[in-house]
Structure 1
Amino acid sequence: MAQAKEEILGFPRYPPFKLNQPRFPQETFLGRYLHYLDVIDPRTLFASESKVNESLELLNKYSLGQRPENATDENLWKAQKIRQAMFHPDTGQKIFPAFRMSGFVPFGWITVTGMLLPNPSWPTLLFWQWINQSHNACVNYANRNATKRFVPMPAVSLASTINVLCMRAPELETGIDVFEKNGKKVGTSKVAAKRAVTETTLTRAFLPVPLLLIPPCVMPFFERIKTVRHNPRVHLLVNAVVCTLSFAFSLPIALALFPQESKIERNDLEKELQANTFESILVYNKGL
């Protein structure tokens, strides 16, 4: 029983703390899945101001080599979880709750339910698509790679992939920063930017798949219940719950397709950047 508390899916629940590193290994899908469960955990939305300040202070002391004696690995990982959920990794700015990945499901479930209503009219369909893509545009912008400043393009589109491309197209022009493993900046790469945008686009392209498959498969079982079948309000409520759970199920799986801190080989970078480092593998922030 004690072992079950110490491990989760075969990984240590709270391994030795590493500042600015994921709690679980990113080389495997399961490790990335567990990492993104932390990233999208909606409980971080309710962290009090005092708890946030306490977490930031603890991490700041740790970064200065002043780890408090009573600070356990669990304390440090939980503090880092709050910081990563609330603040952008590149700018350090606090992200508005509705645009955080941890707020994607709590603030997006109404939109998802509206989009999956049976037999919608064209005006209804267009309205919910507009709301959905507007929210997606804000989430895409808030969680982009922000090592370069740019003015975002309007991105109200009927496809999440086009939405990502619209919001992050300037990265393809300016490039994104790539780093050595020790955090030293090597330069700005358009090759890395292309990979980052491609990976994010594929993630968003996969995200709707479970949403479109699960509710139509599950709802017929609930519709056998007389109350659900004959009461429109109950039917709508059940449909909303099924859609929300499908959304919550699919989000970490889609995000886990690629690590947030992705790797790129030195030989794949631009020639001028290859001359700036001797390391064979470099890293960049893919964004969410």
Structure 2
Amino acid sequence: MDANLQFWKSEGKTFPQRFYHWVEILDPLLLLKSRKEIESSRALLPTNEPDITESLQNKKIKAAWKLSLASVNPATGDTILAAFRPPAFLPLTAPLAFGVLLPHKGGKQAFFWQCLFHTYTGAFSLAHGNHTQNTKEFLPKEMLLSMGAILYCASMGAFPHFIMTRYQVQSPSMQVLLKKIIPGPLLAIMCAFNVLVIRGTELESGIEIMDSKGCVVGVSQNAGEKAVKETALSRAVMVGATACIPDIVLHCLKRTKFLVRNPFVWGPLRSIMMVSILGLMIPVSFSWIPPLGTIQRSLIEPEIISSTEETEFFYNRGL
């Protein structure tokens, strides 16, 4: 079991624990560290559960844990490209999300922003997925499916804008429906779909599962399905909350004297709220479901459990 997964096994048993650690891991300054510094930090990490808890009292080793958790894919042990590491997620998705949720003048502009958003989030999902020997065989198919998923998600996301401009919708109720109500939930659904397709090879070929000692006991399709569905759900909640909550709050506040007297504040206030909620929802999304997933013996394929007496198995959920 990779050191990062050992960390979550020891220090990620409750949501508050995980949330506290993710707030520290998402420090953008960690993106400035070199590959050599990451490798040096990994060499300092203990692997025994009691030692992990004790090591967090040491500032140097605690910093090494943060850097490792922020930079390395625990399924492969590979260093992730800086643009797709967790600390880069907020700085890069915030402007993209802002562009996606703007009131666009036409379908082409909306499609462009949707493409950018789903391309980045799809690449992020791929960088944090499970890549076993079996899934590497699907690389050409994976790339083709990823491109198709991005184009489909972008097209569906731009569809309300296309309807508005193509049919010159004038009805106030239809404008509210197409501009305010549909885009947020639709974006959340498309984000979940994006994860399901881009990490679809994990559904087809399975992912590695480990016993309580961290030894790989097999490759399970059921565990792969559970990991991908959990990640898709957490992504949908994160994006859906970011898209919907600002509009709901502003709808409740739109008749206040301040906003009535200062309508120019509406746009900046919505942007500030959106970035703030996204900044909160990222660690919530990463923490809500444990990065080190568990699956019971009864849900594992018979050919795997026939070789072990373990009752619970572990897997890397990904992000």
Q: Given the two structures, how large is their TM-score scaled by the length of structure 1?
A: 0.79
Residue aligning to 2:201: 170
Cα drift, residue 37 of structure 1:
2.4
8 Å CA contact 1:203, 1:257 repeated in 2: yes
Using the TM superposition, give the Cα deviation of residue 85 of structure 1 relative to its aligned residue in structure 2, in angstroms: 0.8
**Matching residue of 1:245:** 276
Number of the residue aligned with 2:263 = 229
Q: What residue identity is the alignment partner of 1:270?
A: E
Consecutive unaligned residues in structure 1, runs of 5 or more: 1-16
Q: Which residue of 2 aligns with 1:102?
A: 87
8 Å contact 2:8–2:291 — kept in the other structure? no
Q: Give, in angstroms, the shift of residue 134 of structure 1.
A: 0.7
* Unaligned 5+ runs, structure 2: 154-189
Matched, 1:216 2:253: no
Q: Would you say the 8 A contact 1:24–1:32 is kept in 2? A: no
Which of 225, 229, 244 is equivalent to 1:198?
A: 229
Q: 1:228 to 1:125 in 2, by over 3 A?
A: farther
Q: CA deviation at 1:132?
A: 0.7
1:45-56 to structure 2, matched below 5 A, reads: 45-47=31-33, 51-56=37-42
Higher normalized contact order (CA 8 Å, seq sep 6+, divided by chain length): 2
Match of 1:142 in 2: 127
Q: Which shows bigger deviation, 39-48 or 196-205?
A: 39-48
Q: More displaced, 31-40 or 130-139?
A: 31-40
Q: Is the contact made by 1:260 and 1:286 (CA closer than 8 Å) also made in structure 2?
A: yes
CA distance in 1, matches of 2:250, 2:33: 35
Q: Output the CA distance in 2 between the equivalents of 1:192 and 1:146.
A: 14
Offset of residue 238 of structure 1: 4.7
CA contact (8 A) 2:130 2:316 kept: yes
Aligned residues: 263
Q: Which residue of 1 aligns with 2:312?
A: 281
Distance 1:20 1:77, change over 3 A: farther
For 1:196, the aligned partner's letter is: A
CA displacement, residues 3-42 of structure 1 (integer Å, 9 cap, x when unaligned) = xxxxxxxxxxxxxx99831397433322232233244332
- Offset of 1:71 from its aligned partner? 9.6
Which of 20, 23, 27 is residue 34 of structure 1 equivalent to?
20
- Residue identity matched to 1:104: F
Shift in alpha-carbon separation, 1:112–1:183, aligned structure 2, 3 A? same
- Write the distance in 1 (CA, Å) between the matches of 2:118 and 2:274: 17
Amino acid at match of 1:229: P
Q: 2:77 aligns with which of 61, 73, 92?
A: 92
2:247 equivalent to 1:262: no
Task: Tell me by how many angstroms 1:251 deviates.
Answer: 1.4
Query: 1: distance between equivalents of 2:5 and 2:58?
Result: 11
| Cα displacement (A) at 1:52 | 3.2
SS at match of 1:278: coil
Q: Assess if the C-alpha contact under 8 Å between 2:223 and 2:295 holds in 1.
A: yes
Tell which deviates more after alignment, 163-172 or 250-259: 250-259
Over 3 Å counting, the alpha-carbon distance change for 1:80 and 1:20 in structure 2 is farther
Greater helix share, structure number? 2
1:113, CA displacement in angstroms? Answer: 0.8
Assess if the C-alpha contact under 8 Å between 1:24 and 1:34 holds in 2.
Answer: no
Task: Report the TM-score, using the length of structure 2 for normalisation.
Answer: 0.72
* One-letter identity of the residue aligned with 1:22: W
* Residues 85-108 of structure 1 deviation map (CA, whole Å, 9 limit, x = unaligned): 112112222212221222111111
Deviation at residue 119 of structure 1 after TM alignment? 5.7
Which range moved further: 152-161 or 126-135?
Answer: 152-161
Mean CA deviation greater in 213-222 or 244-253: 213-222
Conserved in 1, the CA contact under 8 Å of 2:76 and 2:130? Answer: no
Distance of 1:35 and 1:212 partners within structure 2: 25
Give secondary structure in 2 for the equivalent of 1:22: helix
What is the alpha-carbon distance in structure 2 between the residues aligned to residue 146 and residue 228 of structure 1?
52
Aligned partners of 1:172 and 1:190 also within 8 Å: yes
- 1:270 deviates by 0.6
| Structure 1 residues 282 and 214, CA gap change in structure 2 (3 angstroms) | same
Q: Secondary structure at the match of 2:233?
A: helix
Once the two structures are overlaid, the 10-residue window that deviates more, 93-102 or 29-38, is 29-38
The answer for the alignment partner of 2:102 in structure 1 is 117
- Once the two structures are aligned, what percentage of the paired residues are identical? 28
- Letter of the 1:207 partner, please give it: M
